[in-house]
Structure 1
Amino acid sequence: MKADTDALWPQVRSMARAFWKSPARNRLIFLGGGLATVIALTAFGQMWLNAWNQPFYDSLARKDMDGFIHQLWVFAGIAFLLLTLNVSQTWLNQSTKVKLREGLVRDLLDDWLQGRRAFRLAFNSEIGVNPDQRIHEDARHLSELTTDLGIGLLQASLLLATFIGVLWGLSRGIVLHIDGQVLAIPGYMVWCALLYAGIASLLSWKVGSPLVRLNALRYAREADLRFNLVRVSEHMEGIALHGGEADERDRLSSDLDRVLGIMRRIVGAVTGLTWITAGYGWFTLVAPILVAAPGYFHGNLSFGELMMAVGAFIQVQQALRWFIDNVSAIADWRATLLRVSSFREGLQAMDRLGEGRGRIDFAPSTDRQVILSGLEVASPAGAISLSQPEVVIEPGQHLLIIGDSGTGKTVFFRAIAGLWPWGKGRIGLPPDDDLQDREGDGVMFLPRHPYI
């Protein structure tokens, strides 16, 4: 698992190439541009709101009623603008999730249901187990997490770019008195914010990084449980006829125990992470005042400028704490990206499956015969062959192929049907035009689970 989770950038590049080829690309680019515009305007509005702090609190300090009323009207205008932008951002956010999921699921469906890829993946790779989980639940989850994290990161970046300049300018009014010495540090509050958020981010990732592996394991266990629940539901009549309820209950209970075991480990990891994130959040309530206090008590900051500096510090902290607040979500995103990208890459690898191996020769036969000549089927268990080097089956003839359990009879029949081409020898089947000309003649292959 570690090798897979370390390959983050190849996974991202693979999904980016899929996005660029998707028919939903232009619509998603349009929605992304709209989101970027709205978020930029929101950052401007928040900067305006922060600047409003100084005249508002100064009017309170002066007990200036007219100035106080005026600033309330200014606040109403700013709040209405920000409210409109928030509603617009919500609509764009939800629309992006829908469109991103549409593009991702259609891409996975196109790759999955191509030229026997799905069949070969199911029997050649662990990735092919429970593809419904990866296409349905994992794709949905990845679309939503990618949208939320992407928008949050963009918003945090714009906030940081907007307010770090404001905070740097306000730091000029803050001086430190140490042992009778006066010390003025350029950008003092900016450096404090960076140091504070950097320590918290490092601790958060250190504690929360195991969640990547645990979430990936959880999704795999959940998929197994869901698959077996569907299997029991589909075979309920046979289970009831043969009294198999107790056996199925034990099997499902075992699947559930594996899910719950992983969930308990996730609970422990999230609890440990909460000590860092929640502690950071609570201390942030007083941190900006503590940092700006020297400028208020020993410098030339007014009360309004103090509150403006506190507001700017909080905005910078909100931008810098994006990673801290989203460590758990990032770990979840990494795990989901791993499952979806590995599934997609596994599907495409099926086209290269068996390169360098011999292939069975499929050719039309004459006289509506089925001919198996020198046939050897390559399988994970070894070469599979008949006791007779050449078998000719005439129309209407009955033939029984027998062998011990586990010797590869199923793979052998799949090879005759053309689903498993690896091996050597020749398989001759009646040509397609012969099947069309004679009603009732030809070859019919019946899978284990009939499909109409």
Structure 2
Amino acid sequence: MSLTPSSIAGPAGEHADLTPPDAPGDETALDSSHRPRLTPFVLEYWKSDDKWKALALLAITLGITFFTTFLTVKANQLLGAVTDALVDRQWRALLLAFTASVGVGVVSGLVTISNVAIGQVLDLRWRSWLTDRLLARWTRASEFYDIERDGLLKNADQRIAEDVRLFTDSFLNMFTSLIAVIADTVTFAVLLWSLSKTLEIRLFGSTWVIYGYMVYIAFAWAIGGLLVTHWFGKRLIALNMQRQGVEADYRYLAMQLRENAEQVALYGGGAREHRRLTERFELVKRNFLQIVGRNWKVSMAQTAYGRLFDPLNTVAALPLYFTGQVTFGGMTQSASAFGSLKSALSFFSQAYIGFVQWLAVANRLRDLDSALSMVEARGRGGFTVQHTEQTEIVTSELRLLAPGGELLTVTDPLRFRAGERWLIRGPSGAGKSTLMRAIAGVWPHGSGTVSLPRRASILFLPQRSYIPSGSLAAALCYPSEPTRFEEPQLKEALALCGLARLSESLDVVDQWQQKLSGGEQQRLAFARVLLHQPDYVFLDEATSAVDPATEQALYETLIRRLPRTGVISIAHRESLAAFHDHTLQVIPALGRAHSIA
């Protein structure tokens, strides 16, 4: 059931299917020929209304990062002073240098902790902004329904709930780490350039002089490590995208079993559900083992490469010491600076796995953004739903199609007036429910014009009513807030629909969708109609789960309490004809739906 749908309109967007072809369980129906770039999606927040606060927090974080780099350089200088004081047995100088070194370490630790807290606040602001934006687009009009109906994307809810958190947290960690690495790289490259002085190499009768040779060695080592990591880890992007999908599908299947426990139990379907869950978990296991194997290869390659060049720090500094260009403390300082530069440059290979995990999450969110843009641009397809000042629901000839393009039926122009009661009849599959969806503005397949009264309220009751978890009062008042109605109104509506026994449970929080039987759920939906008193109500097999006597009582109450409400019912039962003064016969395929007075 929903309120009168608002128009669906939005800017045209680019679309993409970035899911790897070997990723079962996370397929999308997005057109892979329309691939939006990732950069604009990442930068959206930094151009939003919150950008100044975000940039201020980011500036503080970067300022602390640069200050930490300065402290690291200072610690490197103090290390050389401590070493020389030890060699020369200058105890006073040693004490002063050691005390200063401890002070630098304490300050560095304190500012690092503060930087983490500030980064977490920035992460929360970005996550909140992106979550609010995606939720607003996903729940606006019928976008969530359009995506599910047309199979454009899987697990949209999981992408908003989980992927957004991973996206913002990982990006900020990588970005701030990258800035720190750049600062450390520049700083220690300059420091090492001055410390490593010159290296003379006699080769083929010539003397070659290399300035800052240790810097070149460090960069060559880092480039080699990155190439090795990429060679073994390039498949991790596809595997991590697949992981998000199969994990989400497994959780969704388990959730379906929990939400439909009674139906499965009555079917005796426990064994079948066990097989389905086991089969889905096999995909999770297979993907997990593939990731473990690939991570193992990457880690082994990185470890072997690192161990192979482990002594490089000291070996690279030895020529300076043996040629007498530096003292032992100077050699220690050079080796330490070389190690710091190596550590900074190793970020690119060490962060490779984290980067590909983030890239997989970013691609999934980009797919969600593309799917939302697609349904926003599509609107209502071939239907035009407009709001006018008239008080009637009027349609042109409506051509209703199935999602695959097959013709369901064609209706003559329709006119529903306030207070009229229409019964829509026809065989199953003729397009009766599709007609209601087209009028509600949630069916894009077909063509025609629907004019809805701007000032009228319209409720749509599907056969299976939606009852959100929470208090019974909130479920009864849906889609309005529970504060809209007084408690006596709620109790009266329940009593009129044969649910008086629930009157004392209005404040009870529970999974009412599972607690109430099918008939009780439909009676609760009728109680919602009595509360909201709409100008028009569409009932799609809304009494199929109740007995004939209850059905008669519900319709009699509806007509008596809301005599000015237009009632349009979709039903198969002949008994309902007595409560309606107009009939619309829907004929499938090449026939035309026509009204019978």
* Same fold flag (TM > 0.5): yes
2:536 maps to 442
- Corresponding residue for 1:71? 97
Change over 3 Å in CA distance of 1:400–1:363 after alignment to 2: farther
Partner Cα distance (2:294, 2:149) in 1:
35
Q: Identify if the C-alpha distance between structure 1 residues 284 and 98 changes in structure 2 by more than 3 Å, giving closer, same or farther.
A: farther
**Structure 1 position 223 matched with structure 2 position 248:** yes
The answer (yes or no) to whether the contact 1:173–1:299 under 8 Å persists in 2 is no
State the distance in 2 between where 1:427 and 1:384 align: 19
Deviation at 1:38, TM superposition (A): 0.4
Partner Cα separation in structure 1 for residue 334 and residue 287 of structure 2:
45
Q: Counterpart amino acid of 1:144?
A: D
State the shift of 1:377 in Å: 2.0
Equivalent position SS for 1:376: strand
Q: What is the rounded CA distance, in whole Å, between the counterparts of 1:72 and 1:145 in structure 2?
A: 37
Aligned length: 441
1:13 equivalent in alignment to 2:40:
yes
Cα distance in 1 for residues equivalent to 2:35 and 2:63: 29
Q: Which residue of the partner structure matches residue 79 of structure 2?
A: 53
Q: Which residue of 1 aligns with 2:220?
A: 195
- The 1:388/1:56 distance shift into structure 2, 3 A limit, reads closer
Aligned-residue offset at 1:125: 4.4
Q: How far apart are 1:122 and its partner, in Å? A: 2.1
Aligned to 2:518: none
Counterpart Cα distance in 1 of 2:254 and 2:337: 53
Helix, strand or coil: the match of 1:37?
A: helix
Contact 2:313 2:339 in 1 (8 A): yes
String of CA shifts for 1:254-312, please: whole Å, max 9, x gaps: 21111111111111111111022223443454111111122222342211111111111
1:60-209 alignment, distance < 5 Å: 60-127=86-153, 129-172=154-197, 174-176=199-201, 183-209=208-234
Partner of 1:287: 312
Q: Between Structure 1 and Structure 2, which shows a larger proportion of helix residues?
A: 1
1:374 positional shift: 3.4
CA deviations 1:65-113 (Å, max 9, x no partner) are 2322222112122112212221222212222222221122112112222
- TM-score, normalised to structure 1, is 0.87
Q: Which amino acid aligns with 2:104?
A: I
Query: Residues 80, 397 of structure 1: CA spacing in aligned structure 2 closer, same or farther, 3 A cutoff?
Result: closer
CA offsets 1:1-41 (integer angstroms, 9 cap, x no match): 996789998212123124422x4323221210111110010
**Is this contact kept in 2: 1:430–1:442, CA < 8 A?**
no
CA distance in 2, matches of 1:76, 1:392: 85
Helix, strand or coil for the counterpart of 2:424? Answer: coil
Q: Alpha carbon RMSD of aligned pairs, Å?
A: 3.3
How much has 1:425 moved relative to structure 2? 3.6
Structure 2 unmatched ranges of 5 or more: 1-15, 21-31, 460-529, 543-597
> CA separation of 1:255/1:412 partners in 2, compared to 1, >3 Å: closer, same or farther?
farther
What is the TM-score of this pair, normalised by structure 2? 0.67
The residue that corresponds to 2:578 in the other structure is: none
Aligned counterparts of 1:397 and 1:74: Cα–Cα separation in 2: 88
Aligned with 1:30: secondary structure? helix
2:405 is the counterpart of 1:382? yes
Q: Kindly indicate whether residue 335 of structure 2 is the aligned counterpart of residue 310 of structure 1.
A: yes
- Which residue of structure 1 lines up, in the alignment, with residue 354 of structure 2? 329
Shift in Å at residue 143 of structure 1? 1.2
Assess, with a 3 A threshold, how the Cα gap between structure 1 residues 255 and 284 changes in structure 2: closer, same or farther. same
**Structure 1 residues 144-168: Cα deviation after superposition (integer angstroms, max 9, x where no partner):** 1011101110110000111101111
Task: Determine the structure 2 residue equivalent to 1:352.
Answer: 377
Q: Which amino acid aligns with 1:40?
A: F
Whole-angstrom CA distance in 2 between matches of 1:337 and 1:175? 49
Which of 275, 278, 288 aligns to 1:263? It is: 288
- Letter aligned with residue 97 of structure 1: D
Provide the C-alpha distance between the structure 2 equivalents of 1:276 and 1:239, rounded to a whole number of angstroms.
Answer: 49
- Cα deviation, 1:359-381, whole Å, max 9, x if unaligned, reads 2566889996x777632124431
Q: Deviation digits for residues 308-337 of structure 1, max 9, x if unmatched?
A: 111111111122111111100000011011
Is the partner of 2:407 in helix, strand or coil?
Answer: strand
- Change in Cα spacing, 1:159 to 1:387, as seen in structure 2 (3 Å) is closer
Q: Which residue of 2 aligns with 1:419?
A: 442
Percentage identity across aligned positions?
23
Matched residue type, 2:39: V
Q: Distance in 1 between matches of 2:452 and 2:81?
A: 89
Change beyond 3 A, Cα 1:17–1:446: farther
Distance 1:366 1:347, change over 3 A: closer
Structure-1 separation of matches of 2:314 and 2:440: 76
Pick from 41, 55, 63 the counterpart of residue 67 of structure 2.
41
Q: Which moved more, 1:70-79 or 1:23-32?
A: 23-32
Query: Structure 1 residues 308-317 or 79-88, which shifts more?
Result: 79-88
- For 1:302 and 1:160, the matched residues in 2 are separated by 24
3-state DSSP of counterpart to 2:397: strand
1:345–1:361 CA distance, 2 compared to 1 (3 A): closer
Please give the alpha-carbon distance, in whole angstroms, between the structure 2 residues aligned to 1:178 and 1:435. 90
Indicate conservation of the 8 Å contact 2:385/2:452, yes or no: no
- The structure number with the bigger radius of gyration is 2
The whole-number CA distance in structure 2 between the counterparts of 1:91 and 1:430 is 53
SS at match of 2:252: helix
Return 333-342 or 382-391, whichever deviates more: 382-391
Which residue in the other structure is 2:238 paired with?
Answer: 213
> Is the contact between residue 363 and residue 429 of structure 1 (CA under 8 Å) also seen in structure 2?
yes
> Which amino acid counterpart does residue 437 of structure 2 have in structure 1?
R
Question: What is the DSSP-based 3-state SS (H/G/I as helix, E as strand, rest coil) of the residue aligned with 1:402?
Answer: coil
Q: 1:435 to 1:96 in 2, by over 3 A?
A: closer
Determine if contact 2:192/2:337 at 8 Å carries over to the other structure.
yes
Q: Distance in 1 between matches of 2:336 and 2:426?
A: 81
Q: Which stretch has the larger CA shift, 34-43 or 78-87?
A: 78-87
Corresponding position of 2:303: 278
Which stretch shifts more, 317-326 or 91-100?
Answer: 91-100
- Give the AA of the match of 1:443: V
Contact in 1 for aligned 2:79/2:333 (Cα 8 Å) = yes
- Residues 417, 306 of structure 1: alpha-carbon distance in 2 compared, 3 angstrom cutoff: same
Residues 19 and 241 in structure 2, CA contact (< 8 A), matched pair in contact too: no
* 8 Å CA contact 1:174, 1:299 repeated in 2: no
SS at match of 1:69: helix
Asked if the contact 1:193/1:316 (under 8 Å) is kept, the reply is yes
User: Which amino acid in the other structure matches residue 333 of structure 1?
Assistant: W
